[in-house]
Structure 1
């Protein structure tokens, strides 16, 4: 049994995790611990506070009780808004507090792209422009070329959590361009797991979504390979053990 722990802010698309757990098989457990979201607002200052060391530490004891062997901060914007160096310090602090390997969704995207061998990416973000731009900067710092970045302009996670297949596909299409090797949907508040086969079929390329890569990152930290084609092309390849830090 591989047990993985995820610190997830608030309640928006956390039901993606039991769905993934079913698709991954009976020997993988994905435990979700909810952290305090504070104000539900997609603003830089608010997002930085949401991902503060104090807020993450508050969920660590419950996470330890799940028996998790690795921890992932399941919030993309609550990581990359700290910048490349700040996001590293965030996961280092989480690892020290939790006493286990740790990462975040922001780094999960970087590691998954490296595993895919991709360099040119399109980003379909739910965020306002100022937040989406910071994700673009984070990806550039990781060595990737953002050839298209679309900002959906959503102001709250609660709003994003209500979007279904139609809205998700529209968002993806708004960002997709032929030169992009992979398309990214970076918001963990967005339900995407059920739509992965549709997205990859309609776009004709690998699609990486926030909750999907977060689960993949936990497995990578635990040294596990799981073949689960219904979770997209990413889950048909062996995760890399080492990635650019």
Structure 2
């Protein structure tokens, strides 16, 4: 099978064990994934906003340099909270910094969530994450700043360390999603690239009757659309992926 249709470079937090398998579920044949890990935090700590703000720039230049050598076509930063903790303007500048360094289009997981909501023409959302309450509020502020109303949220991560949050099961995340949902919410957002939310996505969309956006799904969608790839046949990506071609057709009418 051909491997020459494109290369995706992704920067991954060192303790993250869920982003890479999620990306593998969402990548089309012929596209290859290339990862570089960055550290600079204690995996047994319960991460807060200050730690995430420090982490955002830890090892970034070195990671970008390593991925440039792979002749990537798109670069992605795979930690949602690291950029959202400093706000939307920081996230946008962060993307520009990555693009300027690598010479290719850049994506952040946090920015990709906003893009996904705009793509789906969503205005009101429900929200959940494994973050501590303070970081959860940073996330809600980030989303609200971009013009979306968070009608309900469910904070689950008062005691989850970086090591612990990756072990939360999809069944548990499904229950968190149900608790976060609200009748007025047009979509559910589940934030964090090291949360097994993608595996709960299909059941949540079925039972809630609305789109579900996860960090890894949104990030991969942003990557693929920058590569002009139609992801409509990737069922694991939920409505964001499978309705892509339909949305394009409607836009042309």
TM-score if structure 1 supplies the norm length?
A: 0.90
**CA offset at residue 121 of structure 1?**
0.5
CA distance in 2 between partners of 1:142 and 1:36 (Å) = 29
Q: Give the counterpart of 1:30 among 8, 29, 33.
A: 33
Task: Work out whether 1:193 is the aligned partner of 2:190.
Answer: no
Task: Work out whether 1:72 is the aligned partner of 2:76.
Answer: yes
- Between stretches 18-27 and 230-239, larger displacement belongs to 18-27
Q: Is the contact between residue 26 and residue 217 of structure 2 (CA under 8 Å) also seen in structure 1?
A: no
**CA offset at residue 22 of structure 1?**
4.6
**CA offset at residue 223 of structure 1?**
2.5
- Alignment-derived partner of residue 236 in structure 2: 230
- Alignment-derived partner of residue 47 in structure 2: 42
CA distance in 1 between partners of 2:78 and 2:164 (Å) = 18
**CA offset at residue 19 of structure 1?**
4.7
For structure 1, which runs of at least 5 residues remain unmatched after alignment?
Answer: none
- Cα shift readout 1:175-210 (whole Å, capped 9, x = no counterpart): 111111110110111012233212212222111111
The structure with more radius of gyration: 2
Provide the alpha-carbon RMSD of the alignment. 2.0
**CA offset at residue 95 of structure 1?**
1.4
CA distance in 2 between partners of 1:18 and 1:164 (Å) = 14
TM-score if structure 2 supplies the norm length?
A: 0.87
- Alignment-derived partner of residue 251 in structure 2: none
Task: Work out whether 1:21 is the aligned partner of 2:24.
Answer: yes
**CA offset at residue 29 of structure 1?**
2.0
**CA offset at residue 24 of structure 1?**
3.5
What secondary structure is seen at the aligned counterpart in 2 of 1:149? Answer: strand
Give matches, 1:78-227, under 5 Å.
78-153=82-157, 154-227=159-232
For structure 2, which runs of at least 5 residues remain unmatched after alignment?
Answer: 249-253
**CA offset at residue 78 of structure 1?**
0.4
C-alpha spacing 1:43/1:19, structure 2 compared with 1 (3 Å): closer
Q: Is the contact between residue 49 and residue 138 of structure 2 (CA under 8 Å) also seen in structure 1?
A: no
Q: Is the contact between residue 95 and residue 102 of structure 1 (CA under 8 Å) also seen in structure 2?
A: yes
Q: Is the contact between residue 80 and residue 134 of structure 1 (CA under 8 Å) also seen in structure 2?
A: yes
- Between stretches 101-110 and 228-237, larger displacement belongs to 228-237
Q: How many residues align?
A: 239
**CA offset at residue 81 of structure 1?**
0.6
Q: Is the contact between residue 25 and residue 236 of structure 2 (CA under 8 Å) also seen in structure 1?
A: no
- Between stretches 204-213 and 59-68, larger displacement belongs to 59-68
Q: Is the contact between residue 74 and residue 104 of structure 1 (CA under 8 Å) also seen in structure 2?
A: yes
